[in-house]
Structure 1
Amino acid sequence: MPSYNAPVRDTRFVINELLDLSSYADLPGFEAVTPELVDTLVEEAGKFAGEVLAPLNMIGDKEGCTRHPDGRVTTPPGFREAYNQFREAGWGAISMPTEFGGQGLPHVLNFVVEEFVDAANIGFGLYPGLAMGAVAALANAGTQEQQQTYLPRLVSGEWLGTMNLTEAHCGTDLGLIRTKAVPQDDGSYAISGTKIFISSGEHDLTENIIHLVLAKMPDAPEGTKGISLFVVPKILVNADGSLGERNTLSCGAIEEKMGLHGSATCVMNYDGAKGWLVGQENRGLAAMFVMMNAARLGVGIQGLGQAETAFQNGANYARERRQGRALTGPADPGQPADPIIVHPDVRRMLMNAKALTEGLRALALWSGLQVDLAHKAKTAEERQAADDLIGLLTPIVKGYTTEKAFEVTVAMQQVYGGHGYITEWGMEQFVRDARIPMIYEGTNGVQAMDLCGRKLAKDGGRAIQAFFQLVDEDIAAAKDDAQLSEIAAKLAKAVGEQKAATMWFLQNGMTNPNNVGAGAFNYLSLMGIVCVGLMWLRMARVAARKLAEGAEDKAFYEAKLVTARYFADRMMPEAGALRHMIEGGSDAMMALPADAFGAVS
């Protein structure tokens, strides 16, 4: 059975030393964020994830969720008890607004909790994770009455939420949805239609579930311009806040999935269910995007969590499993064979995993800080800069992180050899569970097109130019430092490849948009390398300073410097190949007729 120990030391390093969160103490919500508070939060969250949630991970995978004949859904054994502990401890309310009972701490600290929860038990993590998006959407676009009715209980975790977008005939192209919302005399709407792939659509963790549903009113404009957003509770709420009668909605089925068996992914049927408009008529997609953007960052963290727990188990196995001898001679002559960690190819997989998980953690938490600064920085200019940056980083955190996380889980399964294919070792579950974050909340191809088709050109390229300036400034500050100069030089080369690829898009995308589409995924990967490379340069700078100051935890900081060099030497050079792929254009990719992809007779 696999184990999980939250990466407490590395997380504290990123929060307290790399991001230096306490330096923002003069901003709202940051006042109490001392290194001591961070240490306590990280320790306790890690303990809860490791001791309560991780033991339920394989149980959730094996037992799954059960739909009963009356439409009720029960979660796997232990999930209800674990959720009660989660709620009572306030883990879901860390960054929730204080006016509705939340703790109001920075989002970046909630990202820490999300990683630990998802690493320990991703199926469990989906239940409270979606409630945060529901809170964000209602706080942003809901009426005062809607906020007072739903937000205190969503924030406390007494109720949970969902988002209902997808229908059987349409996924990403939401303009094709058929769910209808018919106005009623009392100001409500009758919602009718079927939604699929609805995470947490029905379960037994809370008494009520608050669904946010996209639908179209009669005579609505065609396409996405005719979509409205509605709040549709499972149990109707009376004027005094008590629960009333059951709404006319139900779970028609639980999807049979490759992984995430602990999460109830439901087909939801709305049969004239009572709902209320959220925000403006026909402006539902804009209101829902608040929830979707939060979810996309959360999905990136899900991927990171799977990579971390797979890496931990792969490293433990490599230290214990004995097979063969080191190429340079027996490493342990007293034993019949050496641990497989002595073999360079096993080290390659482990070092790739270490460089990616630690680099992606830094990127995720830095992104979380930008979410906070976009709302709380002192000046309008600072808030705009942070908002520009998080818009640019969101497809990277979702797309690049989940791609690399899946690679890590597959590689760690490979470390186990044949045992990695056997269920009892747990590695094949990590692979299955890590596959879905690449798909949902907008496939990674969609993330790439969002980056290249929208974000690069937005506001005349303001965000990407600011990003390039930020990277260039870090490189310039490190180029004369003996311990950092080589890493900085390789990052300079990688970002140079990204700049060239960006210019190629500008020169070739207008005449043939397929050139952008053909290179978008490669560009997302290229920018991901630059982003993680920037994180490693910054982590190396902190580590070098700490060593110069005589820090006690010498081995930790030395490992940071070695891993930074490894990423620069072995992973940054991929940037050049990706640029060349982008410049290959779309001609050959798009040349064959559709029937050329049919079966060969």
Structure 2
Amino acid sequence: MAQYLPPIRDMQFVLHELLEVESRLAELPAHAETGRELIDQVIEEGGKFCSEVLFPLNRSGDEEGCTYEGDGVVRTPKGFKDAWAKFREGGWPTLTCDPEYGGQGLPHAVGMAFQEMMNSANQAWTMYPGLTHGAYDCLHAHGTPEQKQVYLPKFASGAWTGTMCLTEPHCGTDLGMLRTKAEPQADGSYRISGTKIFISSGEHDLTENIVHLVLARLPDSPQGTKGISLFIVPKFVPDANGNPGARNGVKCARIEEKMGIHGNATCVIDLDGATGWLVGDPNKGLQAMFVMMNSARIGVGLQTLGLMEVAYQNSLAYAKERLQMRSLTGPKAPDKPADPIIVHPDVRRMLLTQKAYTEGSRAFAYWAALQADVAHGHPDEAVRKDAEDMLALLTPIVKAFITDNGFVTTNMAMQIYGGHGYIREWGMEQYVRDARINMIYEGTNTIQSLDLLGRKVLGDSGAKLRKFGKLVTEFVEAEGTNEEMAEFIDPLADLGQKVEKLTMEIGMKAFQNPDEAGAAAVDYLRVIGHLVLGYFWARMAKLALEKQESGDPLYRSKLATARFYFAKLMPETAALIRTARAGAKPLMDVEVELF
């Protein structure tokens, strides 16, 4: 009984009014001709594909799930394969791919909007092309010219799909422990043997070939992460014409039975002397794979943004229709036996929390996509470097902050529905189940927090963080005398100062005891997440104030939501800063026997 309408107007607001994407793209030679008309056409047509083709398969795909038929064969839910054919017919896989390999070459900022809608419509289905695009990015950056010619056109067209094979049964995120072996052969190939688990899209019936990017160890390679190499391992070895040839020694042993994303085949993959080819340099595989991993982390943020939007849409519609009790201040619908639940303060709290996190995350994620476009295509090296630093700093926040908030908001959607939310037919419980994995895979949110604090902030003495802080400071200074903006600028400026002080405190303590960073990291990421979201909500509030008399209700809605965010959500940072400062002692002084 769920519904989905692509939020075209809000996407246009973010792209054209907030980010002024056309003027930014005009600075990039590859995208200088990408104007508003084209961007809007892509979003509108993409929205039709998502709402008309993918969304109707979401519930049925969840209920049917993928089926393991034995001997490595996996069948996707009914309708998935036909949807893939329509996906290819519409040219959607080619959207942001390099024209040299059959792509349309559109900017990431446009692709991000389309990805959001796909994830709202059907997260499990969308993981098949999502991981494929990550494999495309990895080979585009690190593949040999021959590898690019064979694989990239197939990825771009949707003829083949890709996976990332990292995790093994005895190790999760700790890839330094992996045991999969790669034995060099006389012809320059390698024989790959081992077992990988949790491989999303690892086997299916959508395409004629599946290409696995596999981390493995060469003989006598160094221990730990410095001894990992990356290999291309296709299900069918391409023949001389680049078409699927002999069956390779890579097979799905079984599919995992999961809490959610049932329409995506999460596989145990056995490699039994499979033929593979080295990507990049020996023992440098993790660096190459990080291209795909970072792409996937941003993709997971997009998955959650999509779920947040569709869950909010449905809970809002339900709250306007569901009659329960009377308003505390007197009947608001006296002609009805009870008032709609949207009159109740706590229902409004939940709806506005959903709305604030969803729309704030959209602004943040699209801006991050624009940084990727600038990093890849700006003619000024210094500008490219700044964009790369911004993307490096913010990728763990896109992944962790958005997915944490997404689980909160999908749970709120279920809560608004009450008992009906817990019942399958209404659709909300699926969004909760699907959202839960996003906090775990592609590096748990604790790993993202350690990455942010350890590598991205303390690792360069705060240089990247100061670049983002400069954006905040410049905005605060520009609007500091605008009385209408004081309710947004004052808390943003205050939080910026507190972040600077907190970062210094944690850095000094972590220098003496590394556990201090581990104890503070999760709280710290959430504080930085609010600084980022606060910055974008303040910018959106400025636009809303300027245009609130235009007659478009979007601006009045933005202003109301911004006020809610700064009054009700950002104050969470006070408690987070306090718990971050509590340090490692309350955690690490507890003897194991006392647990």
TM-score range relative to shorter protein: over 0.9
Correspondence list, 1:79-98, <5 A? 79-98=80-99
Q: Secondary structure at the match of 2:484?
A: coil
1:31 Cα deviation from its structure 2 partner: 2.1
Identify the range of structure 1 (370-379 vs 211-220) with the bigger mean alpha-carbon deviation.
370-379
Name the structure 1 match of 2:46: 45
| Distance of 2:118 and 2:347 partners within structure 1 | 28
| Distance of 1:563 and 1:368 partners within structure 2 | 24
Aligned: 1:581 with 2:579: yes
Name the structure 1 match of 2:142: 141
Name the structure 2 match of 1:8: 8
Name the structure 2 match of 1:199: 200
Amino acid at match of 2:415: Q
Amino acid at match of 2:530: I
Q: Secondary structure at the match of 2:31?
A: coil
Identify the range of structure 1 (171-180 vs 472-481) with the bigger mean alpha-carbon deviation.
472-481
Correspondence list, 1:496-535, <5 A? 496-535=497-536
Name the structure 1 match of 2:550: 551
Name the structure 2 match of 1:447: 448
- Write the deviation string for residues 119-167 of structure 1: whole angstroms up to 9, x where unpaired: 1100001000001111111111111111111111111111110010000
| Distance of 1:470 and 1:556 partners within structure 2 | 25
Amino acid at match of 2:561: T
Aligned: 1:117 with 2:118: yes
> Contact 2:208 / 2:244 at 8 angstroms: preserved in 1?
no
Aligned: 1:459 with 2:457: no
Identify the range of structure 1 (120-129 vs 561-570) with the bigger mean alpha-carbon deviation.
561-570
- Write the deviation string for residues 370-412 of structure 1: whole angstroms up to 9, x where unpaired: 1111111231111111111111100100000000000000011
> Contact 1:319 / 1:341 at 8 angstroms: preserved in 2?
yes
1:33 Cα deviation from its structure 2 partner: 2.1
Correspondence list, 1:398-547, <5 A? 398-547=399-548
Aligned: 1:334 with 2:335: yes
**Unpaired segments ≥5 residues, structure 2:** none
RMSD over aligned CA atoms reads 1.0
Identify the range of structure 1 (387-396 vs 573-582) with the bigger mean alpha-carbon deviation.
573-582
> Contact 1:494 / 1:576 at 8 angstroms: preserved in 2?
no
Identify the range of structure 1 (28-37 vs 230-239) with the bigger mean alpha-carbon deviation.
28-37
| Distance of 1:542 and 1:91 partners within structure 2 | 32
- Write the deviation string for residues 231-288 of structure 1: whole angstroms up to 9, x where unpaired: 0110111122222111111100000000000000000001100000000001000000
> Contact 2:164 / 2:212 at 8 angstroms: preserved in 1?
yes
> Contact 2:507 / 2:517 at 8 angstroms: preserved in 1?
no
- Would you say how many aligned residue pairs link Structure 1 and Structure 2? 594
Q: Secondary structure at the match of 2:583?
A: coil
Matched residues, percent identical?
A: 53
| Distance of 1:551 and 1:103 partners within structure 2 | 36
Q: Secondary structure at the match of 1:29?
A: helix
Aligned: 1:594 with 2:592: yes
Name the structure 2 match of 1:26: 27
Identify the range of structure 1 (89-98 vs 133-142) with the bigger mean alpha-carbon deviation.
89-98
- Write the deviation string for residues 52-79 of structure 1: whole angstroms up to 9, x where unpaired: 1111001111000011123211100000
| Distance of 2:530 and 2:311 partners within structure 1 | 21
**Unpaired segments ≥5 residues, structure 1:** none
Correspondence list, 1:172-321, <5 A? 172-321=173-322
| Distance of 1:489 and 1:437 partners within structure 2 | 33
1:4 Cα deviation from its structure 2 partner: 0.9
| Distance of 1:459 and 1:523 partners within structure 2 | 17
| Distance of 1:377 and 1:579 partners within structure 2 | 37
Identify the range of structure 1 (143-152 vs 37-46) with the bigger mean alpha-carbon deviation.
37-46
Amino acid at match of 2:179: R
| Distance of 1:552 and 1:367 partners within structure 2 | 30
| Distance of 1:209 and 1:28 partners within structure 2 | 34
Name the structure 2 match of 1:354: 355
Amino acid at match of 1:448: S
Amino acid at match of 1:16: H
Structure 1 stretches of at least 4 aligned residues deviating more than 4 Å after TM superposition: none
| Distance of 2:44 and 2:541 partners within structure 1 | 24
> Contact 1:94 / 1:105 at 8 angstroms: preserved in 2?
yes
| Distance of 2:528 and 2:141 partners within structure 1 | 30
Scaled by the length of structure 2, the TM-score of the pair is 0.98
1:552 Cα deviation from its structure 2 partner: 4.2
| Distance of 1:378 and 1:183 partners within structure 2 | 41
Scaled by the length of structure 1, the TM-score of the pair is 0.98
Q: Secondary structure at the match of 1:522?
A: helix
- Write the deviation string for residues 24-64 of structure 1: whole angstroms up to 9, x where unpaired: 21313322321211211111111111111111001111000
Name the structure 1 match of 2:386: 385
Q: Secondary structure at the match of 1:26?
A: coil
| Distance of 1:383 and 1:459 partners within structure 2 | 18
